[in-house]
Chains A and B, each alone.
Chain A
Amino acid sequence: MFHLSRKDQIKLAIFALVVVTMPIWLAPLGAAYPGLMQKFAIYAIFAIGFNILFGLTGYLSFGHAAFLGVGSYTAVWSFKLLTMDIVPALIFSTLLAGVFALVIGFFSLRRTGIYFSILTLAFAQMCYSLAYSVLTPITNGETGLLLARNDPRVIDEALGAGTVGGAGLPTPALLGNTVSGYFGFYICAALLILAFFISQKIFASPFGLALRGIKSNQTRMIYTGFNIRPYMLAAFVISGMFAGLAGGLLSVTDPIAGAERMRWTESGNIVLMTILGGVGTLIGPVIGAWVIEYFENIFSAINKNMLNAAFDFLPDGVQNLAVTVLSKFVGEGWHLTLGLLFVLIVVFLPGGLVEGYLKLVARFRRGRGTKPEAGGK
């Protein structure tokens, strides 16, 4: 069960090393603080899960944010009702997101192409609208679901464990250790490595091969006697569970769950991350998630004064012009950069950053006179 090919073992080892040493190599980039690194890990898990559906089967879901939202709410409810320990919270959020994915997938997968995309979008928008309106007792509407001191927390009560976190609000904990800062990051990192491992196993398995077969020629798969429905549903549920886990982790690192996590822009965001990195590749979605989270954080923090300082060496008029133009792209306007980046990537590099890298490698090798390797997806 835990066997991997030699190549995959090396990949996993390198990946684990890169993730674990994140605090070191992110430091020169100015992003080595725990809150951001937690997000790096969480969104990478989300993207890996999304890639299992979109990358392997080619079914473009526009509703994955619903599972993220379900995971978040479940984790917070687990904190409120059962215990502040994160293990049950994460298990429940993964499972419940899986159940949601089972139901939504059961209906949505009856259709293909854009009809599938619209069906998933419709389900996700329903979840979002309901979370804002009728389900307010469960979701606490616009305020978002918060922890409170007088929550029941049955298990904590039964075990007689005092609330972790002293006088203030209780904080999520793992076996009595408060989950925050670097400890929180390493929990997310461990789960990310686990997610990567699972994704490797799926990619290398007959199951993954069948999914790829569905992507390249569905009709032929059906004609060869394959019943594709259970395969598709399994892929959809697995990818929904990854999203649920990511949602749960979002609540673990910051125990608030709001409906805006279910909005369709969030679904668009995850599509973006996957495409940017490289659809259907193992590492691509992770890179995409990191790049977007990094830019979101760095670009939105830049303001006019910083730009003025950076362009101080230019003559005044040019400096003003440069600052005026560039200030549209940073801070509040970083979405503009994101949109442009997105358009450029789709136009010039449809395979994402990973494909770009493979092309570069191929060109480099050709330059040295050896035969170029076929760029594997």
Chain B
Amino acid sequence: MNAFLAQLLNGLDKGGAYALIALGLTLVFGTLGVVNFAHGALFMLGCFMAVTFRYLITIEKVTTDPTQLSPWGQPLEVRAPIVQDWLGDFGLFLVDYSVPFSILLTIPVMLAIGIGMERGLIKHFYKRTHAEQILVTFGLAIVIGEIVKSIYGPNPWPQPIPSDLRSAADIGRWLGMEPNTLTYPWWRMIYLMFSLGVIAAVFAFLRFTTFGMVVRAGMADREAVGLLGINIDKRFTVVFGLAAVVAGVAGAMYTPLLPPNYQIGMDFLVLSFVVVVVGGMGSLPGAVLAGFLLGILQSFASMTEVKSLIPGIDQVIIYLVAVVILLVRPRGLMGRRGVMEG
């Protein structure tokens, strides 16, 4: 039972990441009708926003302290982040909590990148076939990946978890079990909460704001909304930017769990496309549901008991589930008829 719960929890945070990426993919597909293979690259850019933020705030100022001497008899060099100079203790706090604070950098930058991408390239592809959309965004993903590689190099960049959050929460004790029987690292829990919060925010945005209402109307019938005198293209551009932000913050917060390198986007993209298709192309709740479902299934499949029963299952479970669901439920879990079948 405990092992079961532990795997469930482990699957949830991964599922959160899948759900966030799949949500953005579906949002773009539902509004713009574009299959965006560069979405994984946006996730990767988000990861590197966290890396960049930490790099910037840990730039050090070297001062010499004449009152202290190093073992070689020279004045001791004192290295301290510049932010500490400026902000004092808050600066140190900022360095410690660089990953969550990097969201402040991620949101505006990703919004700009998303809008730029849509205006610069994607908008020319609304009328083209899905195959061509896949190909051009695939090419774009290669380009983004290579640019990141040429700046940050091919090696992963580990990001630290804030020091207060490195321990694990003793969930078992909360549920009235023996202490330390069921623990869950704080950061994973935060990631799970964070992803749920972002998902709720996106849904609320689409549900309860006028902007969201117009976007939903545009998803249902773009032409009619346009005839009402609403500039729907402009709103859809913002939606693309929003999807980029969601992917970006998902990536930035994920960095402590998996050190990012330039390939992380592609790895997540393949999985999240499977997630989107399993959920049903164009269905936002489907994407979220399938994201968590596949995350949890993957986590269960990597249990030793399961692996000894069916060797190799942990490697293929996601694809296996995708194949079965697509064959049994042709349009995924919650997809509509006639979407993406041409």
Q: Give me the interface of A with B, judged by CB distance under 8 Å.
A: 58, 60, 107, 110-115, 117-119, 121-123, 125-126, 129-130, 132-135, 264-265, 268, 271-272, 275, 328, 333, 335-336, 338-343, 346-347, 350
Contact = CB atoms under 8 A, between A and B. Distances in A.
Contacts of B281: 114
A115 B143 contact: no
B216 interface: no
B322 A133 contact: no
B146 A130 contact: no
A125 B330 contact: no
Interface stretch (B103-111, B192-200, B310-318): B310-318
Interface stretch (B63-71, B131-139, B179-187, B228-236): B131-139
B298 to A, nearest CB: 12
A339 B330 contact: no
Contacts of A111: 326-327, 330, 341
B323 A338 contact: no
Interface of B: 35, 121, 124, 128, 130-132, 134-136, 138-143, 145-147, 149-150, 266, 270, 273-274, 277, 281, 311-312, 315-316, 319-320, 322-323, 326-327, 330-331, 340-342
A117 B140 contact: no
B206 to A, nearest CB: 23
B312 A339 contact: no
Contact of B312 (A113, A130, A333): A130
Given A336-B146, A338-B142, 4 more contacts: A111-B341, A115-B331, A333-B146, A346-B136
Given A346-B135, A346-B136, A112 B342 contact: yes
B124 A347 contact: yes
Nearest to B335: A115
Nearest to B313: A134
B132 A350 contact: yes
Contacts, number: 117
B139 A122 contact: no
A336 B141 CA distance: 10
B231 to A, nearest CB: 25
B315 A130 contact: yes
A107 B320 CA distance: 12
B270 A121 contact: yes
Given A328-B150, A346-B139, A118 B326 contact: yes
A113 B142 contact: no
Contact of B270 (A119, A125, A328): A125
A350 B35 CA distance: 17
Given A107-B327, A333-B150, A118 B143 contact: no
A117 B121 CA distance: 23
A234 to B, nearest CB: 21
A110 B121 CA distance: 33
Given A119-B326, A271-B135, A346-B136, A340 B143 contact: yes
A118 B273 contact: yes
A272 B141 CA distance: 13
A199 to B, nearest CB: 20
29 contacts: A60-B131, A110-B327, A111-B326, A112-B342, A113-B341, A114-B35, A114-B130, A114-B134, A114-B340, A115-B326, A118-B273, A118-B277, A118-B322, A121-B274, A122-B322, A126-B316, A133-B312, A133-B315, A268-B138, A333-B149, A336-B142, A336-B146, A336-B150, A339-B139, A339-B142, A341-B139, A343-B121, A343-B140, A350-B132
Given A118-B273, A118-B322, A339 B136 contact: no
Contacts of A275: 135
Contacts of A134: 311-312, 315
A330 B312 CA distance: 39
Name which of B147, B322, B342 has the most chain A CB atoms within 10 A of its CB: B322
A117 B340 CA distance: 11
A333 B266 CA distance: 17
Contacts of B327: 107, 110-111
A346 B319 contact: no
A333 B149 CA distance: 8
Given A117-B134, A125-B270, A132 B35 contact: no
B106 to A, nearest CB: 24
Nearest to B331: A115
A140 B145 CA distance: 30
A135 B315 CA distance: 12
Contacts of A333: 146, 149-150
What 8 A-B pairs have minimum CB-CB distances, sorted nearest first? Answer: A339-B142, A134-B312, A342-B139, A129-B315, A336-B146, A339-B143, A122-B319, A343-B139
A335 B142 contact: yes
B135 A342 contact: yes
A117 B281 CA distance: 13
Contacts of B277: 114-115, 118
B312 A107 contact: no
